[in-house]
Structure 1
Amino acid sequence: MNKSILSLKLKEYREQRGITQEELAELLDVSDKSISKWELGNGYPSKKNMMKISALLDVSLEVLMIEEQNEDSRLKRSFKYTLISYFIIFALTLLIRGVKEGNRYEDILSKELSEIIKIVIIEFGQNIYISIVPALIIGLVFYFYIIPRQQID
């Protein structure tokens, strides 16, 4: 299991208070292996223990819980910006190519529906990949730079 925000913060708050794993385990009436497991991200404390940890380490329960959700929220927001960027860039690409090559399909409405669909699918397929790289760059900028700065402010 990967280290979670909670596991990293639990250790940080415990060390800030100068409490060892053994001392915290004794205060919570659990084994020191449980504390170690929580700090390694291999498990989570029960709700009852979360409330005790909150009181013992003088950290609000909301902070312990919200920090766990922040990373997930950051990833979702970044993905949303990546997707929006992709569609905007894709639409602009089609628009620019349409203006540039406007006379290419002047008589498209006189063709059969199946032929029109075939042309649209081919055009779509030829232009779909152009937008991926810039959209991914925009998403990464949001994930690593913009969203963390918003959280600080």
Structure 2
Amino acid sequence: MTEMEWKEGSAGVLRLPSGRLVRGRGLRDPMPAGHPPQFGVYLLGSAPEEFGWTSRWVRWRDFWVPADPSYAKEVLTEAWRRAEGERVEIACGGGRGRTGTALACLAVLDGVPPAEAVAYVRRHYHPRAVETPWQRRFVGRFTGDPRPAAPPRQEP
């Protein structure tokens, strides 16, 4: 691990089974000490101000699910890929419901079965992550392998 990476155990940092580290946080809380993110995903009802690093905004009202689930999946897949070598932050207002839901979706992309992803995030990120039944259902239905499909086999 280089000094530019976040450390497991730091405020809001979640280690996925692959070893990727992702930081979840609430935007109403002060920015954690240390290095800023290199990429951020912001789950809010309205567009945020600029952060000073590359970011994506997913329209997502508090206590709900994303307004555009396919765009959310695209952005979360990008975040999962970038987390292999960059500091990635996922954030909403309070850092629990929407952030926890998105982190559980990243866990699914990382190989955690959808039925176990909420428990994984509650155990490793925050015990009250993923706040509503429809957020849990969103995670349970979140699927998809972010790795590119193998090219079709050609017959000799």
Same structural fold, with TM-score higher than 0.5 when normalized by the shorter chain: no
**Structure with the higher fraction of residues in helix conformation:** 1
**What TM-score, normalized by structure 2, do the two folds share?**
0.23
**Structure with the higher fraction of residues in strand conformation:** 2
**What TM-score, normalized by structure 1, do the two folds share?**
0.23
